A = this chain, B = another copy of it.
Amino acid sequence: MFKIRFLIAMLALSASLSTAYAWESLPTEAPAPENNPTTAEKVTLGQMLYHDPRLSSTGTVSCASCHNTMLGGEDNRPNSMGVNGQTGGRSAPTVWNSAFNKVQFWDGRANSLEEQAAGPVTNSIEMGMKSWDDVVARLQSMEGYQSAFEKAFGKNAINKDNTTKAIAAYERTLITPNSAYDNYVKGDQTALTAQQIKGMDKMAEVGCTSCHSGPAFNGAGMFQKFPLINNAYFEAQFHLKKDKGLAEVSKNNADENLWKVPTLRNIALTAPYLHNGSINTLEQTVSIMAQLQLGKELKKEEIDDIVAFLNALTGEFPAQKMPRLPATPGTAFN
């Protein structure tokens, strides 16, 4: 079930100076898989589906409820709230730039945006639909979806596969280019402040970029153990090892506390932090990550510089129209 292509980076605990680190700006387009080329019709349909709370059992939770496109692509909660006020144990990852993740979910158990989109809809504590057959039946009951699916995929095309393809196609448009960092990397020397440049250098020097590498600072599909270094004090406070990460799905001991390296793009907008949303501020997150992953105690000034740089990773959010959702026939969501 889990064809996981992963790579555990051999992290040198004392990272060497890496001023030669190759900083990359964010592409403005995301590659689409061969079997799901991006089209305007799919994106239009996908935006509707993504924002439609009627994809949940109660009619109250859409993809956007937890991955809010009006915000930093998530909900600023430690754990998201699904149908009937239920909560899980993980913090919603941002949808912005998720097209640049090689794997999806915190535990990286999905290999594509399409595969990811299929999950929450029938998760009992997230969107709570009993089955995809029920989702498809509900969509088929709405004339507006019949025509939108037909435009995107042809006749009689309402099914699970096309629903997730449309959502993924829309998500591939959720890219935030032109952050101060990107402008700096592309040659605008004034785009970053002196402190931000110090923070940028510090990130590479300390070793943050060993994992948070590439244009999306997400390690291009890398998995990493977190926490890598045991720390009873933090564990008692934040319960970081309680959730076994990939091992929760693979049932493989070797995968315990193994996580997808998350993007740092727009991180200033996505508090609280870590897989369980246990840390409220970037300052504390940077400090803890350095201690638990790199075995380093950063000075306050170093932390402040890095946080200043992380604030330069907030991009430009594309203007979006508000979708009109198809009319609900005379049925009730309870």
**CB-defined contacts of A323 to chain B, threshold 8 Å:** 70
Taking the nearest CB of chain B, how far is it from the CB of A245, in angstroms?
Answer: 21
Cβ-defined contact, B81 with A271, below 8 A: no
Taking a contact as CB atoms closer than 8 A, the residue among B76, B268, B328 that contacts A269 in the complex is B328
Cβ-defined contact, A76 with B317, below 8 A: no
Chain A residues with CB under 8 Å of chain B are 51-54, 58-60, 65, 68-72, 75-78, 81, 83-86, 268-269, 271-272, 277, 280-282, 314, 317, 319-325, 327-334
**CB-defined contacts of A329 to chain B, threshold 8 Å:** 271
| With known contacts A69-B322, A321-B319, A325-B71, A332–B77 Cβ distance under 8 A | yes
Cβ-defined contact, B76 with A54, below 8 A: yes
* Complexed CA–CA distance, A53 and B60 (Å): 13
Q: Copy number of this protein in the oligomer?
A: 2
* Complexed CA–CA distance, A51 and B329 (Å): 24
* Complexed CA–CA distance, A52 and B331 (Å): 27
Q: Which residue of B lies closest to A271 (CB)?
A: B330
Cβ-defined contact, A59 with B85, below 8 A: no
Taking the nearest CB of chain B, how far is it from the CB of A292, in angstroms?
Answer: 19
Cβ-defined contact, B321 with A268, below 8 A: no
Cβ-defined contact, B71 with A58, below 8 A: no
Cβ-defined contact, B333 with A77, below 8 A: yes
| With known contacts A75-B53, A320-B322, A332–B84 Cβ distance under 8 A | no
**CB-defined contacts of A319 to chain B, threshold 8 Å:** 321-322
**CB-defined contacts of A65 to chain B, threshold 8 Å:** 53, 60
**CB-defined contacts of A52 to chain B, threshold 8 Å:** 70
Cβ-defined contact, B84 with A70, below 8 A: no
**CB-defined contacts of A317 to chain B, threshold 8 Å:** 324
Cβ-defined contact, B77 with A59, below 8 A: yes
**CB-defined contacts of A314 to chain B, threshold 8 Å:** 327
- Subset of 10 A-B contacts with CB under 8 Å: A59-B76, A70-B322, A71-B328, A75-B333, A76-B331, A76-B332, A280-B330, A321-B321, A321-B322, A322-B322
Q: Which residue of B lies closest to A268 (CB)?
A: B327
16 more A-B contacts (CB under 8 A) besides A58-B77, A272-B332?
A58-B81, A59-B75, A60-B81, A70-B322, A70-B325, A72-B328, A76-B328, A76-B332, A76-B333, A77-B333, A84-B85, A271-B328, A272-B330, A280-B332, A319-B322, A320-B321
Taking the nearest CB of chain B, how far is it from the CB of A319, in angstroms?
Answer: 6
Cβ-defined contact, B68 with A53, below 8 A: yes
